[in-house]
Amino acid sequence: MPASSIEQLLDRLEELKRPAAAGGRGRERLAVVLKQTARRRFADAPALIRFHEILLYLRAYPQSASLVEATEKLLHSFASRVERLSADGADMSAFEAPDVSGIAATGFSAVFGYDITRWLARAHASRVQVLWDDYEDHAHLNLVWPKLLPLFEEDAYSDAHAPFLAWVRAAKRRGESDLSWLMRQFERLPVGEKQKAELFEPLRLWVRWELGNSKATRTLMRRRVRRIFYHDAPLIARRDVSLARELDAPPLAVERLSRADGERLLASGRDTMAVRFRELHGFTFGDPRSVVRADAGRGLEIFLWGVPPARRLPLLGYHAGIFFKNGVPMGYHEGLSLFERVEIGLNLFYTFRDGESAWAYARLMRLYRQLLGADVFSIDPYQLGGSGNEEGIESGAFWFYRKLGFRPVRAELATLVALEERKLAARKNYRTPPRVLRRLASGHVIYEARDDAEAATTTTGEWDRFAVRNVGLAVARRMASEFDGDAGRSRAASVATVKRALGAVGAKLNEAEERAFSNFALVLALVPDLVRWTAVEKRDALSIVRAKASGAGESRYLRLLCRHARLRLEIIALGTNVNSQVKE
């Protein structure tokens, strides 16, 4: 019989990578096909990339100890396959696509923000460099370079295209890279971190990262785990996941990491994001003191953390985190919370999306409820495929959440969902057209944890029409009408008014607490009867402000918010004010 082609072998691996009821026989067949594929010489990048992603999947969802050993051996030798492919003259550009970047022995170029560029220059100094070829933004460079190089403005004044690289090479240390010199000079500027970023980012410098065979690659990035979970039975399907049952289950086992372990976890998280062209607030500015680890079972670890007071949002509580499956980074999450409502953004990396995605998301919701007191879970339209997220449309993201029990908050979308569900039930091969999916993804969906699971998916709730944006718009209208659009006057007057109303004129607040109070004052100044609140309500409001600025994290802040019934009603009213609303 003719030997199978590489594509045929990869197709067979795709079929066998998910454990089936066949058990041991399936594992044996998988091991045989894996050996056959490993012996082949790949002739093009797409096929080799596909093999890499299958190996990563098998490492995250291993069916046996011998398969873990086999996949690890292949992944640790993967750099040589890439180098051989390059030596054969193959087109290597496919390795730089955002969905697959980060493979051993490859590299990629990207424009990063100031903080991540600084991180890369420190953590991977020998592998990262600035790409000056074809750099053309001399106008902005001529504004920044004089702050780094004495007398440069004289050259720039007489020559709009002054030889800026000659100045850099004259000023830097022997053996120092251009990027290391540049970031060192920025760090020395006598301005705050925000101002440094504002100077750096308009430069839009392309950075090249040659990954080599480092542990920063997707190929080799691992977290050491105590025990591997082997999948010797079919994976948990979405139809087998009950959010109501999950949210009522006992708490997950949770531990807080030491600061040193938190630093290491965040460092690997930044690498995980950067090799995928991603920057996320919580990874860039994560607080290592706040990192917690939850053992979610079945080899899944969920990490969650916050950000330090200076990086927090005015009202929303902010948390981010990462998933590891048997030590392999599997995805990341971000949560924006207010009272008991949380908006969770989840991104499972492309390689692992046909694994136990629904079950992992349910465990994440359970963790947010456990740690932050969340009972109302909202999904932003972008996550569903709205706002131009065509990947969400192609994957049918709306139905992923709908089949878990989320419901649309807009009446016309609920009607459309009911119509589509009747079509799906009546016609076996029916698929919702993309144009309809775009309509369905144009509004939020919500899940409320209630005793009556059916009610949670069919009735309206007080958070349905809420948007934190509406609170900000109300503040902006007051600024326009009462302070002639002067943000400084509006803030100062609000602080003075609210301090008097709360009896907090003489309260001693540190810098972070003053900043938090200033933000809350803009909102509380819109409450007409604030001065008539009870003494307990006023005292508790001040405690909430202090908790917002606490170095211990924002979980206490969110729980205190939930206990303040009057503040909750006022903020929900501001966020659902019909006069404040704009379209999603």
Beta bridge partners of 408: 445
pLDDT of residue 433: 96
The model's confidence at residue 453, banded by pLDDT at 50, 70 and 90, is: very low
180-224 per-position pLDDT tens digit:
999 999 999 999 999 999 999 999 999 999 999 999 999 999 999
* Average pLDDT of the segment spanning 322-337: 98
Helices (H) and strands (E) in the chain, counts: 27, 12
Among 56-65, 274-283, 446-455, the least confident range: 446-455
The model's confidence at residue 369, banded by pLDDT at 50, 70 and 90, is: very high
pLDDT of residue 23: 59
Amino acid letter for position 182 = L
The model's confidence at residue 571, banded by pLDDT at 50, 70 and 90, is: very high
pLDDT of residue 456: 45
Instruction: Say which DSSP state 467 is in.
Output: -
Rg over CA atoms, the chain: 27
Residue 453's CB is within 10 A of a number of other CB atoms, namely: 18
pLDDT of residue 136: 87
pLDDT higher than threshold 80 for residue 166: yes
* Average pLDDT of the segment spanning 414-441: 95
pLDDT higher than threshold 80 for residue 579: no
Is the C-alpha dihedral spanning 133, 138, 141, 147 positive or negative?
positive
482-532 per-position pLDDT tens digit:
999 999 999 999 999 999 999 999 999 999 999 999 999 999 999 999 999
How far, in Å, CA of 223 to CA of 327, rounded?
4
pLDDT higher than threshold 70 for residue 382: yes
Alpha carbon distances (Å) from 212 to 207, 302, 330:
16, 28, 21
pLDDT of residue 581: 46
Of the candidates 339, 335, 291, the one whose C-alpha atom is nearest the C-alpha of residue 315 is 339
pTM for this structure? 0.94
The model's confidence at residue 584, banded by pLDDT at 50, 70 and 90, is: very low
pLDDT higher than threshold 50 for residue 279: yes
Evaluate whether 80 touches 251 at the Cβ level (below 8 Å).
no
Phi-psi region of 532 (alpha: psi -120 to 50; beta: other; left: phi over 0): alpha
The model's confidence at residue 26, banded by pLDDT at 50, 70 and 90, is: confident
423-436 per-position pLDDT tens digit:
999 999 999 999 99
Write down the domain spans for the chain.
6-93, 107-210, 238-374, 468-580
pLDDT of residue 193: 94
pLDDT of residue 578: 54
Amino acid letter for position 137 = D
* Average pLDDT of the segment spanning 392-415: 95
* Average pLDDT of the segment spanning 335-356: 95
Share the mean pLDDT of the chain. 93
pLDDT higher than threshold 50 for residue 454: no
The model's confidence at residue 582, banded by pLDDT at 50, 70 and 90, is: very low
Backbone angles phi, psi at 519, to 5 degrees: -70, -45
* Average pLDDT of the segment spanning 371-392: 93
How far, in Å, CA of 283 to CA of 202, rounded?
22
* Average pLDDT of the segment spanning 271-289: 96
The model's confidence at residue 387, banded by pLDDT at 50, 70 and 90, is: confident
